[in-house]
Structure 1
């Protein structure tokens, strides 16, 4: 059964400490949170906040360089928070400039996944739009994932649409590798992401597709107004209406 998550990066500029932000998410319909760094908070403080809020850890975004530098430390930290999924959230466009570059990036991800697997964690990759650069007549994401053995794919629906592709078709194509999906909207004409419900994404159809694919977590993410709880309130309204 698919659960609803909220990506904490959406509120990364709020003045409150992260445990307080987590507890605020607990006042909404979300079932869990996806971490994007822990700030100054300790694992114990965050576990207490998760317990108080009745939330689970949907996963955590961790840069590939950080993961490669200290795989055991990353695994220990997030395993102690109850995370089962680590997500690499970004690779620079240079990694998608050629088949060779995308293949090398995929091999790095695969090696990182092997290291996490020894600690019982899974690695996933989250797309933006650079992964859809054309390489030999197809999107670079295909090359990356072909080389990234053992790595799951966190489909960001908004960035797929902003890149000019059909988000639900991409979800269907890689359904066997998708346990996490980012719910985000897009303006196709502008090639940009927008707040959910304000763009070209058929939100109800997206929710149905995610449920049909039996994805573990549908995670709401916003890139605007990261300093305001209005972002969280808007997210809660969307999931109340469409879930």
Structure 2
């Protein structure tokens, strides 16, 4: 039975949005004012909802509506998807979101990510993803680069993509690069499996890691780093990926995001 709620955001409604984690420090001070600033940047699409910053969920949604912002994807955790996935359905339907996205698979960070953990995650994604799909929501997993340890003839991420049938993936191009991979090549290897992108560039000369960690201050204006933003976005557009979320975790986010938007506008027909 479909849970009644707000109308889902049409798939083709928008292309460019913002992951709200980018402005977490600003939202700690004033959610409404931060949403107003996002609106001034010309964005109407956001991703988040994992933190309400002391507000009721109704007031939080009212701030979104007041500032003409739509929540295309709600944040979820591995644990709630595993233990109470229907709660994720209710949250996504409340915000009118088409996607629910989780960003981390719990594991011992002092050891390499292993096959058993990846296998358990695939099982969870297929089970929770099926439930979400039955209610009009697409589950996405957002890899962080620790999935690039070798497995058989590829990596653990290859195993996950090839064995997950009820959920999709969100590519954060920064974390693909940080983990030592070419994000454009990965898109080309798995057309149709990445349903949205996080656009984030990396300071040239930054060392790669395989543990899902990195320096937030290595986030730079799109087009100034070593990720190859223009190339990867062009490939994503070629594949028909419609959702691109800006993310900037640096202390310079309020200055850098408008510059990143300006860069995207210079690309030939790439981003609205």
Aligned CA distance change for structure 1 residues 93 and 197 (closer, same or farther; 3 Å): farther
From 155, 160, 180, the equivalent of 2:176 is 160
2:214 aligned with 1:201? no
2:267 aligned with 1:235? no
Identify unmatched segments of 5+ residues in structure 1. none
Q: Greater relative contact order (Cα 8 A, min sep 6): structure 1 or 2?
A: 1
Deviation, 1:36, is: 4.8
**For residues 241 and 97 of structure 1, what CA distance do their matches in structure 2 show?**
35
**For residues 85 and 206 of structure 1, what CA distance do their matches in structure 2 show?**
22
Does the 8 Å contact 1:75/1:119 carry over to 2? yes
Does the 8 Å contact 1:36/1:60 carry over to 2? yes
Does the 8 Å contact 1:145/1:151 carry over to 2? no
Does the 8 Å contact 1:125/1:152 carry over to 2? yes
Q: Counterparts in 2 of 1:9-158, with a 5 A limit?
A: 9-14=21-26, 15-39=28-52, 40-94=54-108, 97-158=113-174
Structure 1 vs Structure 2 CA RMSD: 2.2
Does the 8 Å contact 1:153/1:180 carry over to 2? yes
Aligned CA distance change for structure 1 residues 126 and 188 (closer, same or farther; 3 Å): farther
Q: Helix, strand or coil for the counterpart of 2:29?
A: coil
Does the 8 Å contact 1:18/1:38 carry over to 2? no
Identify unmatched segments of 5+ residues in structure 2. 1-11, 209-213, 266-272
Structure 1 outlier segments of 4+, above 6 Å: none
**For residues 97 and 37 of structure 1, what CA distance do their matches in structure 2 show?**
25
